[in-house]
Structure 1
Amino acid sequence: MIVVFNFIAGALSLLGTFYRHSVIAAVLFLVVVQAAVLFWRRTQPIAVLLVVIVTMIVAFAIAPDREPSSPALAFAVYAVSVYGPGRARLVVVGAAIVMVVVAVALLLLNDFDTSRKLLPAGVVTLIAWVIGDYIRSRRTFFSELVARHQKEREQAAEEERLRIARELHDVVAHNVSAMAIQAGAARVSGSSSAEALESIEAGARATLAELNRLLGVLRKSPGAPLAPQPALDEAEALLKPAREAGLEATLKVTGEKRPLPSALELSAYRIIQEAITNVLKHANASRVEVVVEYQPDALLVTISDNGTGGNSTESTGHGLIGMHERVELFGGEMKTGSSSLGGFTVRAKLPLKS
């Protein structure tokens, strides 16, 4: 469209002129060249502008009384302003300003003829550059906006994947480990009591229920169960698998108990759950102790055992990594090491922001 428009505009500008046929043919040829090169204005804006300027100078030399400015100049300058590199853009706008200033100075010096020829070209160039600069700025703004939103979406998706991975690991590892230990204890004892089988069945059903809940959220199914997240009041239930495996498990709550943010309470619950799972899987312990301490500005959770299987250097598994991530979400700190019971201890401090 732009190529055709410039050709028509250039051809119409020759109507009513009284040039020789050779001059008209030469000027018409230059008009065709100006219009044709605009086809590459997006990919080669600087080269197109140079060709347009050269053809304008040649046309002015052939017919000095013609207006040196043309629509092709405006489109070429606009293309440089939108698609060209920074230095070329500055050179173009600088040249436009100089042309306007010189034309005004010549006008004040009563050189109307030269000023009349320079001023239109300078003004057209300057206006085209300003419009192009505005379009370029808007495109840059929108592209940055889209990129920022895309990055935020990717970050949100990554955080959600990590959250779901932690939930799956905490739930499945805890319940499956408890079932494995109960089954192993029944095998070693040489009898499969109804109580042990019922406990294994209950653990399996609880695991399936949690998996269905998480998978339902992933599918965004309208019928997905929206059960409340577990809280610290239910921490006593986490000790049941340890007790059924023959461990002496105790829970102690100290400090002034008060309502906690749901996300922080869930993290504390999952940390206790994962720590007990590690005791069952690795510690070879006979005793595990859980202490929940409500401090004035933080919640301190400590899980200790008297086993020999865990040590502070075993921090490469997904369990301890997940616990560290949960603590870091709240700007807290987590320490692992030897416990007062003679085994391994996990101590997580979750700050309570006012």
Structure 2
Amino acid sequence: MVTMPRFGPATRDALLAAALAVAALAVAVAWPGVRALDAAGAFLLLAAHAPLAVIRGRPTTALIALVVLVLPYHLLQYQHHALVPAEVIALFAYAVLGRRVRIVLGLVAFVLAVCVIGMAMRAGGASVREQIAVVEAVVSVVIAVQVWRSHRARVATITERAERAERTREEEARRRVAEERLRIARDLHDLLAHSITVIGVQAGAAAHLVAGDRPVERAELAEVLNAIAATCREARTELRGTLQVLRGTDVGGPAVLPGPDAIAGLAEAARSAGLEVALSADGAGAAPPEAGVAAYRIVQEALTNVVKHAAASRVTVTLAREDRGLVVRVADDGRGPSGAGPEGFGILGMIERARSVGGTLDAGPGEGGGFAVTAVLPFAGVRSGAEPVTPG
């Protein structure tokens, strides 16, 4: 088996330059033109091809060296056509690999044109037409290279724009996925955290009744268990509605999103957990659906935090309509701040809820003690999607 040798780019360039040099020497000897080729002319002709061997790595240096060598060759009136292939290759290679191509190629073409035309006019006769044809060939190559470069730049620009548009679409898709995941996580947190917390408190109350010293009345125990069952039913209904929204289906009937009207149920569940709840929701009736859902979820999370963390006995829930929108306030008399543990997402979720409809939310110690959550949800300019918030 015969293995053919493989040459690298530098070796191939050197072999090409040597082959062109031999061919140019043969042309100059066979058709001497104005002046027969002598030792000096042969040296200049062969030396002018040497820069082609390194033009890939050093295009500017190679082009300058070639111009320095071909100028005396042309000025001494040796065979002009023999150098045309080397000049064309050098110009084209520099156009592909070099910098400041227009200025350099224009200057080189001008110098060569002046040189060849001047020598042709000195020679006179038919040589003028021949040398002008040589200049035209060189200049044509320069123009063709410029057109090619412009086309390549235009194609590169179009490709870059297409890639940038594709990246933008991918980033937008990732952003929408992240927002959707955030919304799902927030909905499930609001729903499950509240229901599980209330059920836990109610179950604890039932266990306390059973384990207590006094006899347990069946009606009293049934009331606690019925409260647990009602909380489970409400959680199941909400979970079904949330899953229908996520799946985009209406199996089992259209999904009903909770709103201000359902806040009374939250207050009742908090009362069954042992809290005294004062509710005033007269100003929430005219709220748009987006603001109504946000108000419901904020009250739900705030009451969950009160039950879990505040050790409060009384909580006041107020929904009032003002010029700036629907103002939701949940204030307790507990130890505060509620739901502010380092691993908790309650306050963060409420802030995201308010921002999802263009509103704001403040949470902190109340004026008379305890903890207060105040959200302002505008009626106009509601926007969809929540902005992710980084906990401070």
TM over 0.5, shorter chain: yes
**1:98/1:222 Cα in 2 relative to 1: closer, same or farther (>3 Å)?**
farther
- 1:65-89 superposed Cα distances (whole Å, 9 cap, x missing partner): 15446589658745x4xxxxxxx44
Which residues of 2 match residues 45-60 of structure 1 at below 5 A? 47=57
Equivalent residue for 1:85? none
Cα distance change of structure 1 residues 206 and 133 upon mapping to structure 2, 3 Å threshold: same
| Pair 1:323 & 2:332 matched | no
Match of 1:65 in 2: 81
Q: Percent identity?
A: 29
Classify the secondary structure of the residue corresponding to 1:304. strand
8 A Cα contact 1:96 1:122, kept in partner: yes
Question: Offset of 1:338 from its aligned partner?
Answer: 3.4
1:46 is displaced (CA, Å) by 5.5
Structure 1, 175-184 or 66-75: larger mean CA deviation: 66-75
Deviations 1:278-333 (A, max 9, x none): 1111122222211001111221100011222x227926420111111222334433
Against the structure 1 CA distance between its residues 235 and 178, is the aligned structure 2 distance closer, same or farther, given a 3 Å change threshold? same
Shift of 1:226: 4.6
Unpaired runs of 5+ residues, structure 1, are: 1-6, 38-44, 81-87
- Equivalent in 298, 322, 336 of residue 271 of structure 1: 298
1:202 aligns with 2:230: yes
Paired residue secondary structure (2:255): coil
CA distance in 1, matches of 2:318, 2:234: 25
Q: CA deviation at 1:185?
A: 0.8
Residue 232 of structure 1 deviates from its aligned partner by: 1.1
The letter of the residue matching 2:226 is: E
Q: How far apart, in 2, do the equivalents of 1:221 and 1:253 lie?
A: 31
Which letter maps to 1:231? G
Matched residue of 1:239: which SS? helix
Return the alpha-carbon distance in structure 2 between the equivalents of residues 55 and 221 of structure 1: 75
CA RMSD of aligned residues (A): 4.3
1:83 aligned residue: none
- Looking at structure 2, the residues matched to 92 and 222 of structure 1 have their Cα atoms a distance apart, in angstroms, of 65
Once the two structures are TM-superposed, the CA of residue 97 in structure 1 deviates from its matched residue by 3.6
Corresponding position of 1:84: none
In 2: Cα distance, 1:210 partner to 1:188 partner? 29
1:314 corresponds in structure 2 to 340
1:238 matched to which residue of 2? 266
The letter of the residue matching 1:273 is Q
Counterpart Cα distance in 2 of 1:57 and 1:117: 16
TM-score normalised per structure 1: 0.72
Instruction: Establish whether residue 138 from structure 1 lines up as the match of residue 189 from structure 2.
Output: no
Query: Does the 8 A contact of 1:93 with 1:129 survive in 2?
Result: no
CA distance in 2, matches of 1:244, 1:264: 27
Q: Check 1:20–1:205 CA distance in 2 against 1; reply closer, same or farther (3 A cut).
A: farther
| Residues 1:283 and 1:129: Cα distance change in structure 2 (over 3 Å) | same
Q: What is the CA–CA distance in structure 1 between the aligned matches of 2:339 and 2:279, rounded to whole Å?
A: 26
Q: Is the deviation greater in 214-223 or in 281-290?
A: 214-223
Change (3 A) 1:224 1:195: same
Q: 1:163 to 1:297 in 2, by over 3 A?
A: same
Code of the residue aligned with 2:272 in structure 1: it is E
Provide Cα deviations, 1:41-77, integer angstroms capped at 9, x if missing partner.
xxxx95396799699989x889731544658965874
**Superposition deviation, residue 334 in structure 1:** 2.1
Alpha-carbon distance in structure 1 between the residues aligned to 2:256 and 2:364: 33
Return the letter of the residue paired with 1:152. E
Residue range with higher mean Cα deviation, 250-259 or 294-303: 250-259
Within 1, Cα distance between the matches of 2:93 and 2:225? 83
**Inter-CA distance 324–185: structure 2 relative to 1 (3 Å threshold):** same
- Contact 1:174/1:277 (<8 A) preserved: yes
> What amino acid is the match of 1:311?
P
Match of 2:167 among 143, 147, 160: 147
Instruction: Return closer, same or farther for 1:205/1:259 CA change in 2, 3 Å cut-off.
Output: closer
**1:216/1:225 contact within 8 Å kept:** no
Q: Are residue 348 (structure 1) and residue 364 (structure 2) matched?
A: no
Change (3 A) 1:255 1:167: closer
- SS state at 2:81 partner: coil
TM-aligned CA deviation for residue 183 of structure 1: 0.4
Q: Distance in 2 between matches of 1:328 and 1:100?
A: 65
CA distance 1:342–1:117, change in 2 (3 Å): closer
Which of the two has higher C-alpha Rg?
2
Structure-2-length-normalised TM-score:
0.66
Aligned to 1:179: 199
| Maintained 8 Å contact 2:244/2:255 | no
Q: What SS does structure 2 have at the residue aligned with 1:47? A: coil
Aligned counterpart in structure 1 of residue 278 of structure 2, from 209, 234, 250: 250
